[in-house]
């Protein structure tokens, strides 16, 4: 965790596959408001998702966000319990392909960050 402007910031990077035939629908869903208000209430900021097709033809999403709260586990538990978030994830999860050994997004190791 790093300190930025007096707040502790936990930065998280994640990766997951996505079904090629679901990419346009996934983009459409994320063009709307979705669950942004719930993420904000859970102290998540700067949530970004990037899409890339690798040389093997597979598509992957890279997600990044910053957590600025004081109790990550409690905030994530509250977010996970929100009915609208559960419904959102059930739609999005069906479009994604977790990496081997994972059931959802795989958290990545932070190697470098410039403040």
| Structural domain total, the chain | 1
DSSP 13-45: EEEEEE-GGGHHHHHHHHHS-TTHHHHHHTTEE
Q: What is the pLDDT of residue 115?
A: 77
Q: Is residue 113 part of a domain?
A: no
φ/ψ region of 3 (left if φ > 0, alpha if ψ in -120 to 50, else beta) reads beta
Q: Is residue 100 part of a domain?
A: yes
Query: What is the pTM for the complete model shown?
Result: 0.88
Domain span at residue 38?
Answer: 2-108
For position 83, which CATH number holds? 3.30.70.100
pLDDT digit string, tens, across residues 55-98:
999 999 999 999 999 999 999 999 999 999 999 999 999 999 99
Q: Is residue 115 part of a domain?
A: no
CA dist 17 and 20 (Å) reads: 9
């Amino acid at each position: 965790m790093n300190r930025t402007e007096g707040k502790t910031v936990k930065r998280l990077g994640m990766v997951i596959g996505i079904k090629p035939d679901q990419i346009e629908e996934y983009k459409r869903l994320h063009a709307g408001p979705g669950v942004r208000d719930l993420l904000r209430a859970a102290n998540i900021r700067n949530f970004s998702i990037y899409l890339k097709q690798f040389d093997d033809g597979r598509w992957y999403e890279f997600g990044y966000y910053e957590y600025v709260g004081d109790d990550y586990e409690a905030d994530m538990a509250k977010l996970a319990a929100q009915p609208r978030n559960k419904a959102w994830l059930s739609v999005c999860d069906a479009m994604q392909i977790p990496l081997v050994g994972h059931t959802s997004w795989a958290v990545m190791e932070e190697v470098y960050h410039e403040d």
